[in-house]
Structure 1
Amino acid sequence: MQTEVLLDRFLTGLAPLDPVAVWAHGSLAGGDYQEGRSDLDLIAVLPSLTPRTVWGLAKAHARLRAEPLSGKLHCTYLTPSADPGRRHLTWAYEELFKRPVTAVTSRELHSFGRVLLGEPPADLLPPVSDRELTDFIVRDQRDFWRPALGNAPLWTRDVWVDGGLLTFARASVTLREGRLISKREALGLLPGLGAPVEVVEDIRRRRYGEPGPAVENRAALTRGYLGPAIDELVAAYG
Structure 2
Amino acid sequence: MGQTYNVVKPEAGVTIFGELYQILRDHFDAAITNMVGAAAPGSPAEGWTWYDSVNDKMQAYDGASWRDIDYNTSVYTDVLNSRGTAASLDARLDVSINEDGTLSGSSPAGAWWTAGTSPWAYVGQAVQFKENGDKRSVYTIGRAIKLNGVTGAPQYSSVTAVAYAAATTTVTLKDGIVSSSMTTPEFGQPIENFHRKIPWTRGFYSNSATSRDYAPTGFALLADGSGGVTAVGILSAATAGANHKKYGIM
So what's the TM-score if we normalise by structure 1?
0.20
Larger radius of gyration: 2
So what's the TM-score if we normalise by structure 2?
0.19
Q: Which has the higher helix share?
A: 1
